[in-house]
Amino acid sequence: DGGITQSPKYLFRKEGQNVTLSCEQNLNHDAMYWYRQDPGQGLRLIYYSQIVNDFQKGDIAEGYSVSREKKESFPLTVTSAQKNPTAFYLCASSILTGTTGELFFGEGSRLTVL
């Protein structure tokens, strides 16, 4: 089935460690996105990518890094510079052209810093 796969679903990290969240899609979408969701809050954009080997910062990029070496993959690294990394992270993808296409979301990854 086509879709977006995020892993791991749950992740625990000690302070000072970097962690990488995986996001893979087989929808042949050009654009991919990472959002952060805090309890009871909406979604905030971390990074997005419209094409391989290119990506742009979103509203809250500090303390995060991404790569887009393949069209299907858009991993997110939460670095030790992120002061409050405990959150629910959502990956999404969409077609690039036009404004009518919706975003397709993965099931999310919940990161907890111990």
Residue 9's identity, in one-letter code, is K
How many chain residues are in contact with another protein, going by CB under 8 A? 26
Confirm or reject binding of residue 106 to another protein (CB under 8 A). yes
Side-chain half-sphere exposure of 99, counting CA atoms within 13 A: 0
List the structure tokens of 67: 């790569």
Listed ranges 21-29, 60-68, 78-86, 100-108: which one lies at the site for another protein (CB under 8 A): 100-108
Confirm or reject binding of residue 61 to another protein (CB under 8 A). no
Listed ranges 20-28, 66-74, 77-85, 99-107: which one lies at the site for another protein (CB under 8 A): 99-107
Residue 62's identity, in one-letter code, is E
70, β-bridge pairs: 73
Which stretches of the chain bind another protein, using CB under 8 A?
4, 6, 31, 33, 40-43, 45, 48, 50, 90, 92, 94, 96, 99-108, 110
